[in-house]
Structure 1
Amino acid sequence: MKGEEMSYSKDDNSNKARYMPNPIHAPTPIPTPTPSIFLKRLSASVEEHDGSRVVLALDLSNDVSVEKVCSIIDALAGYICSVKMNMHLLLPLSMDDVKYINDHAHSHGLQSIADIKLNDIPSTNKVAIDKLAESNFDALTINPIIGLDALKDAIHNAHSRGMGAIALVYMSHKGAESSYGMRIKMVYGEQDDEQKQQREDVQLQQRSPSSSSSSPSPSTIYRVFLGWALAADADGIVVGSTRPEMIRECRAYIEDAHMNVAIFSPGSGAQGGDPSAALSNGADYIIVGRSILNADDPVREASRLARISLISRG
């Protein structure tokens, strides 16, 4: 690790300004926000690893062991900026094992993300965040379906432990549109306020770069999740690379809100997503697992994706 930016003391939580929430879209924020401490660490890792914006998903399906995971990190560390662990590792390994892997990733100047899609009541979420912090994770993923108040609470708890928080907005798998693209109608108090709904629909449609009649309704779950993520001060959002048009829409929305929120895009390769399209449409980081891990030459594939991320981001 080089320079003070790669410190893992995690005691700097001077993130973006706080905003009053809105059920559909984030209010106008204070201009010129600064990156969160997690995004600063991640940017430093990108710089240290020759501009790579590849997050390696450690989705090992068999032969899971600390030794194997660390050997993969050793081989690919020069071509990635972060690793991501989900249930493939978190279930079969102990907390001590996971902490060892995180420390090993940090020794290479990498960040580590716990991809648990946190989705529970606030008290349980806090326990989970505390345990992840004790395991030396740098960030975690959260599902906004828990509601805005619980989302704000979880993100605040993560930030208080020096961790970043990345909110799901639109996942990459086939069929995700059946939930994330679902049209909804917001309810305010005991009665529907249809005029308020219509006003907010129009406002959000005006902010959207895709305002054609064929574009998704402003009152869709993913747009609510996007607004909540910004209102709750998330460090990043997840939008699948299988949906570059959604990435473009989310990027325009974030820029219009003058906020520093990174877009993490999974789904390249095995799920059919195009990493170049994801990055050129506004993604900051591509999350890749099986396409690298199952390649005949994982190092070559990781190197190829690192070059793509450098070229596509300019």
Structure 2
Amino acid sequence: MSWQTTKPGLIPSLDVSVERLSNLLSGIDEIRVQNRNPIHALKVGALLELEGLKTIISKIREYSNLPIIIDHQKLADIPSIIKKYVEKIASIGVDGAILLGYVGPTSITTFVESCQEQELASYIVAEMSHDGASTYIKEESPIKIAKLARDLKATGIVCPATRTESIQRCAEVLKGSLLGIMSPGHGPQGGGADSAVMAGADWIVVGRSFYNSQNPQETLIKLGKLIIDKWKIKNSEE
């Protein structure tokens, strides 16, 4: 089984400055091994990427060999730009990327196929986690995005922990496939990792409750145990 299909999992989000990486990543691989913690990958967002992606990847690699997923929303562009972007990030050493699904099927298809060509994991955002995110989006859009991601054999989709009903609907679409659901919005945004896993999420993205914690490593250990316990309960009920 490749890292892309390993479930359940925890994805720490590194939305911080370069200076804070050392504190957050110190001992993270040891936590994963010694505590059998399900840390799946590390997510690098646009804020950190602006400080120089190549430098960031090198810095992270000083502390961890975990897969790195790039979350840069400007990747949501026209197909020709998406293809070039995927080729570029692959050459830098990124292991996966996230695309906003609202760009439509042509760009999504180019993204997934380009990632497959470069042997990168591909994730499509079906719905975002913050208040107002769905104001201008049709109710059926997340389902359509999930179906397209499934048909293209993407690695997974992104559904928010703040909207468990969306997770449930998309999980039903993905049933029987290898695709997983990445779920942000845990903690300060109001979503719960436990309820997200019970609704069908496979990978929990943890941001502020991780990097603003007084003990980030302990936070990962506790949250890892929680999602494993909920995952076991969820799968025993099916």
* TM bucket, shorter chain: 0.7 to 0.9
Q: Would the aligned equivalents of 1:42 and 1:111 in 2 still touch at CA under 8 Å?
A: no
**Distance in 2 of aligned mates of 1:101 and 1:230:** 34
Question: Is 1:145 matched up with 2:113?
Answer: no
Q: Deviations over 1:122-174 (max 9, x none)?
A: 11111211121122111100122222122111111111111011001111111
Name which of 159, 174, 177 aligns with 1:239.
159
Q: Would the aligned equivalents of 1:144 and 1:228 in 2 still touch at CA under 8 Å?
A: no
**Distance in 2 of aligned mates of 1:150 and 1:43:** 24
**Distance in 1 of aligned mates of 2:208 and 2:53:** 24
Question: Is 1:229 matched up with 2:186?
Answer: no
- TM-score of the two chains, using structure 1 as the length reference: 0.67
**Alignment-derived partner of residue 284 in structure 1:** 202
In the TM superposition, residue 100 of structure 1 has moved relative to its aligned partner by 0.3
What SS does the aligned partner of 1:296 have? coil
What SS does the aligned partner of 1:179 have? coil
**Distance in 2 of aligned mates of 1:289 and 1:150:** 27
Q: Would the aligned equivalents of 1:57 and 1:289 in 2 still touch at CA under 8 Å?
A: yes
What SS does the aligned partner of 1:129 have? helix
In the TM superposition, residue 272 of structure 1 has moved relative to its aligned partner by 0.6
**Distance in 1 of aligned mates of 2:171 and 2:62:** 33
**Distance in 1 of aligned mates of 2:209 and 2:12:** 10
**Alignment-derived partner of residue 176 in structure 1:** 133
**Alignment-derived partner of residue 227 in structure 2:** 309
What SS does the aligned partner of 1:240 have? coil
**Distance in 2 of aligned mates of 1:81 and 1:153:** 25
**Alignment-derived partner of residue 21 in structure 1:** none
**Distance in 1 of aligned mates of 2:11 and 2:213:** 16
Paired residues for 1:152-163 under 5 Å: 152-163=109-120
What SS does the aligned partner of 2:201 have? coil
**Alignment-derived partner of residue 34 in structure 2:** none
**Alignment-derived partner of residue 271 in structure 1:** 189
Question: Is 1:69 matched up with 2:25?
Answer: no
In the TM superposition, residue 227 of structure 1 has moved relative to its aligned partner by 1.9
Question: Is 1:120 matched up with 2:77?
Answer: yes
What SS does the aligned partner of 1:234 have? coil
**Distance in 1 of aligned mates of 2:121 and 2:85:** 14
Unaligned runs of 5+ in 2: 32-36, 233-238
What SS does the aligned partner of 2:177 have? coil
Paired residues for 1:193-204 under 5 Å: none
Q: 1:245 to 1:225 in 2, by over 3 A?
A: same
Q: Deviations over 1:208-244 (max 9, x none)?
A: xxxxxxxxxxxx2222222222223211000000111
Unaligned runs of 5+ in 1: 6-39, 47-51, 184-219
CA RMSD of aligned residues (A): 1.9
Q: 1:228 to 1:248 in 2, by over 3 A?
A: same
Q: Would the aligned equivalents of 1:102 and 1:137 in 2 still touch at CA under 8 Å?
A: no
**Distance in 2 of aligned mates of 1:297 and 1:68:** 13
What SS does the aligned partner of 1:141 have? strand
Aligned pair count reads 224
**Distance in 2 of aligned mates of 1:57 and 1:263:** 16
Radius of gyration: which is bigger? 1
Paired residues for 1:22-101 under 5 Å: 40-43=2-5, 53-60=9-16, 64-65=17-18, 68-77=20-29, 78=31, 79=37, 80-91=39-50, 93-101=51-59
* Larger RCO, structures 1/2 (Cα 8 Å, 6+ apart): 1
**Distance in 2 of aligned mates of 1:146 and 1:157:** 16
Q: Would the aligned equivalents of 2:121 and 2:154 in 1 still touch at CA under 8 Å?
A: yes
**Distance in 1 of aligned mates of 2:60 and 2:189:** 27
